């Protein structure tokens, strides 16, 4: 199901058939270096993750969505929103390396923020990143997110930005 689009991307919900293509992204050490423990994901972990995104969309009306290139139909990565802690909603994104540096994360995140804040009526959305992930921090700033404070998750210090519905 399509939930949004940008000039270059379709933003869609996940299907089981997306597993193998997304394994190429989540299994890439460069993509995963700043994500959780930094280790590439197994096929089983990707399958479980896709199921969780499908369940989140059914139950909450939002999830981490797949980003599909409008030109060739390939999966460029993911961008979406999900519960964070007990009270917050987080936006996140990952792109495959050949999509880096082209503004796709910012483009997708703008549409996802619009979807979350205005279509789903969320009051505020946060973003977190490893402090070494300067590219993601730059995207947060381009989105108009503010903050930059420290959050601690599983013993790791992360920077935390936020944006509220205006």
Q: Hey, what are 47's tokens? A: 């399958």
**Inter-residue contact 14 to 5 (CB < 8 Å):** no
Residue 49 sits in which domain range? 2-164
**Inter-residue contact 9 to 67 (CB < 8 Å):** yes
Q: What is the pLDDT of residues 67-111, one digit of tens each?
A: 999 999 999 999 999 999 899 999 999 999 999 999 999 999 999
Q: Hey, what are 134's tokens? A: 């300067």
Q: What is the pLDDT of residues 41-67, one digit of tens each?
A: 999 999 999 999 999 999 999 999 999
Count of residues in the chain: 166
In this prediction, residue 129 carries a pLDDT of 95
Domains of the chain: total: 1
Percent with pLDDT over 70 in the chain: 100
CATH number for position 142: 3.40.630.30
Q: What is the pLDDT of residues 128-162, one digit of tens each?
A: 999 999 999 999 999 999 997 888 888 889 999 99
DSSP code at position 98? G
Q: Hey, what are 164's tokens? A: 């509220």
- Measured between alpha carbons, how far is 3 from 163 in angstroms, rounded to an integer? 21
Helix, strand or coil for residue 42? coil
In this prediction, residue 153 carries a pLDDT of 82
Helix residue spans in the chain (DSSP H): 19-26, 29-32, 43-60, 104-114, 134-142
């Amino acid at each position: 199901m399509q939930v949004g689009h940008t000039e270059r991307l379709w933003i869609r919900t996940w299907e089981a058939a997306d597993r193998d293509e997304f394994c190429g992204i989540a299994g890439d050490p460069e993509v995963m270096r700043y994500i959780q423990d930094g280790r590439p994901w197994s096929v089983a972990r990707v399958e479980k993750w896709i199921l969780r995104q499908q369940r989140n969309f059914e139950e909450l009306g939002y999830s981490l969505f797949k980003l599909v290139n409008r030109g060739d139909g390939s999966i460029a990565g993911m961008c979406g929103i999900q519960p964070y802690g007990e009270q917050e909603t987080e936006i996140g994104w990952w792109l495959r390396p050949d999509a880096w540096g082209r503004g796709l994360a910012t483009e997708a995140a703008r549409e996802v923020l619009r979807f979350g804040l205005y279509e789903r009526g969320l009051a505020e959305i946060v973003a977190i990143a490893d402090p070494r992930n300067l590219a993601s921090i730059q995207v947060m700033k381009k989105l108009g997110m503010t903050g930059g404070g420290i959050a601690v998750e599983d013993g790791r210090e992360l920077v935390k930005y936020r944006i509220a519905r205006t």
